Amino acid sequence: MMKCRRVAAPVFLLWCVGTMTVAAAELTTRASAAYETYLAETRQAFLARRDPYPGAAPKGEQVPPARPGREDGIVSVPDGLVHHWLGGAFIPRTTLQRTVDVSSAYDAYPRFYKEVIASKIVGREDNTYRVVMRLKASAGGIAAVLEIRSTIRYSHPSDRVAYALSNADEIREVKNAGQTNERLLPVGRDSGYLWRASNFTRFTERDGGVYVEMESLGLSRGFPPFLGWLIEPIARRLGRESIERSLEEFIAAVRTFDPDR
């Protein structure tokens, strides 16, 4: 595996899963089913949570440390690993409408995020977007390009709160990206960098700004035998840093994005 990064809310998470020897891997029915169960439980808990910041909420524009969503952020499931992280930030002097407009400007994502090669809205029905995005990620001398098709649904339970629920419908690794012999590898039969990805985001306008809460899930292959003790701490650190950087990039986009450019 390799270093990956989630782009900002409310797309999906391209998880930081550390550096792993590149070898063929296959998504199994057991891993997919385990992820679906984990995803359903996490989504239900996210929507039921009324106070995303128990205790002191983040203030100012400095992004506080991200935290594991469960266990230490990396959860073993049959034939794979779920990477689960949460992050939050406060963006002062902005509005709910502004943050939602920026987060849904998917065609402009290559301007916001370093690792987004291309991004395009391929369909929209009211508050539901269908997006195709290519992302390039690398670490430890290993690089890969992923093409991800996602569905993102926005909802506004009140005039001060908005949700964005994103799920990757299809993730395919791109072999020889940008070359004449470029091809898409079969779904679930690749290097196992990222097989599934989901992202939940809550925007809450109050205190003269907008609180942004992100919760992200990703499914990858397991760590190689005998190397887990070395790779897991790296993957955990990269997962935490990834969501923090994504929040920083999102804040910068809220501050600078001009839709007319």
pLDDT, one tens digit per residue, over 141-199 is 456 789 999 999 999 999 999 999 999 999 998 988 888 898 988 887 887 778 999 99
Residue 82 pLDDT > 60: yes
List, for residues 228-252, the tens digit of each pLDDT value: 545 565 666 667 777 888 899 999 9
Closest listed residue to residue 11, CA positions, set 111, 187, 162, 148: 148
Q: pLDDT-derived band of residue 91, with 50, 70 and 90 as boundaries?
A: very high
- pLDDT at residue 26 in the model: 87
Mean pLDDT of 24-49: 92
Domains and CATH numbers, the chain: 25-256 (3.30.530.20)
Could you give the C-alpha distances from 3 to 89, 163, 203, 225, in angstroms and in order?
A: 23, 28, 27, 19
Read off the tokens for 117.
Answer: 């090669």
Q: pLDDT exceeding 90 applies to what percent of the chain?
A: 51
Asked if 217 and 197 touch (Cβ cutoff 8 Å), the reply is yes
Greatest extent of the chain over all pairs of C-alpha atoms, in Å: 54
Beta bridge pairs of residue 91? 210
For the entire predicted model, the pTM comes to 0.83
Residue 22 pLDDT > 80: no
- Cβ atoms < 10 Å from Cβ of 231: 19
- pLDDT at residue 57 in the model: 58
Asked if 100 and 117 touch (Cβ cutoff 8 Å), the reply is no
